[in-house]
Amino acid sequence: MRIAVVGVRDGWSSSRMAAALEAQGVDAPLVEVADVRVDLGRREARSPAGDLFGCDGIVIKKVGRSYGPENINYLEILRFVNDAGIPCFSKPAAILRVYNRAACSLTLAGAGLPLPPTVITENAEDALAAVSEYGEAILKPLYTSKARGMEYVTAGPEASARIARYRERTPGPLYVQKKVDNPGRDLGITFLGGEYLATYARVGQPGAWATTTAAGGRYEAYHPDDSVLALAARAQSLFGLDFTCVDVAETNDGPVIFEVSAFGGFRGLLEGNGIDAAALLADYVRREVRRGAL
């Protein structure tokens, strides 16, 4: 069996995924989509590791070395391969629906799921009005992970200049989200094949607005109550991802969802829960390929 892992060659989670498949007897070349040459007439998507059309399946772990709109083209290449009959985990069309933060949020809000108060706008004055209303807000790029590029802004005389500087370095619409009050942690609630797997908490440093490890946070095992799990289950069901993590914050006004991720969860599950998600996903993918899943 040959199952390619789409990722980055020196990436921790990409290498871990390929190693997990190989440990289960699978030929698992690691492919960077930037290296893929697509020939539409010959129906080829060829990389130095071989033609993706010659694989029994593809695990999509990372789409590119950076997280940005340029990777939409890479996902479309993978969608072309998937539509031709090569099973992908997760499906590129499903990943496209969560890859852009605004698209993910609009889907969640349209389904009636609770998000922090959020404004998406091209107008800097509208963004400033939202910050003034919220008091404390986070400016979030549409394409980002692990809080990279996000900026904490408070209402006041400096807010307009902060928004202007942020906009100079961050392309696309302004995504302004109210900073929620949480108990110093938010949750990564993970699902495999649509079934609940486990939850880890990202516990932030005292006084830090971000809980990520880059901001000094740490992972811990956590057991949310059934209502929070039901909310996360409903959120992930909207997208049909094979492995996903729903980011949730428990606030005094109830739980809110930040996003549904197509790639997150490996390190949090391993360090927080002692769960090797790569091995579990490898087993799941092998079974689905044998079953003839598309």
User: Can you give the residue ranges of every domain in the chain?
Assistant: 3-89, 101-113+181-275, 118-178
Amino acid at 9: R
The pLDDT tens digits for 152-181 are 999 999 999 999 999 999 888 999 999 998
Catalogue the long-range contacts made by 108-114 (C-beta closer than 8 Å, 24 or more residues apart): 108/235, 108/238, 108/257, 108/260, 111/234, 111/235, 111/238, 113/231, 113/234, 113/235, 113/257, 114/231, 114/254, 114/255, 114/256, 114/257
Q: Can you give the pLDDT at residue 294?
A: 63
Q: Can you give the pLDDT at residue 69?
A: 83
CA distance linking residue 225 with residue 145, whole number of Å: 26
Query: Is domain 118-178 in CATH 3.30.1490, yes or no?
Result: yes
Query: Is domain 3-89 in CATH 3.40.430.10, yes or no?
Result: no
Answer whether 3-89 and 101-113+181-275 agree in fold: no
| DSSP secondary structure string for all residues of 79-104 | HHHHHTT--EES-HHHHHHHHSHHHH
**What class, spelled out in words, does domain 101-113+181-275 have in CATH?**
alpha beta
Q: Can you give the pLDDT at residue 215?
A: 66
Residue whose C-alpha is closest to residue 30's, from 20, 44, 15: 15
Instruction: Give 10-residue mean pLDDT values along the chain (294 residues).
Output: 95 96 97 95 92 97 85 95 96 95 97 98 97 97 84 95 94 93 90 97 79 78 96 98 97 95 92 97 96 75
Amino acid at 88: C
Buried b (16+ CB within 10 A) or exposed e, 41-51: eeeebbbebeb
Taking each helix axis from N to C terminus, what angle separates 277-291 and 12-23, rounded to the nearest 10 degrees?
A: 60
The alpha carbon of 61 is separated from its chain's Cα centroid by a whole number of angstroms, namely: 10
Pairing relation of β-strands 57-60 and 88-89?
parallel
Which residues neighbour 150 within 8 Å (Cβ) at sequence distance 6 or greater?
138, 139, 140, 141, 144, 210
Amino acid at 79: R
Asked whether the bond before 105 is cis by omega within 30 degrees of 0, the reply is no
Q: What is the DSSP letter of 204?
A: P
CA distance linking residue 153 with residue 166, whole number of Å: 10
Q: Can you give the pLDDT at residue 279?
A: 98
Mapped onto helix, strand or coil, the DSSP state of residue 221 is strand
The alpha carbon of 16 is separated from its chain's Cα centroid by a whole number of angstroms, namely: 17
The alpha carbon of 217 is separated from its chain's Cα centroid by a whole number of angstroms, namely: 18
Which residues neighbour 135 within 8 Å (Cβ) at sequence distance 6 or greater?
154, 155, 178
First-last CA distance in the chain: 16
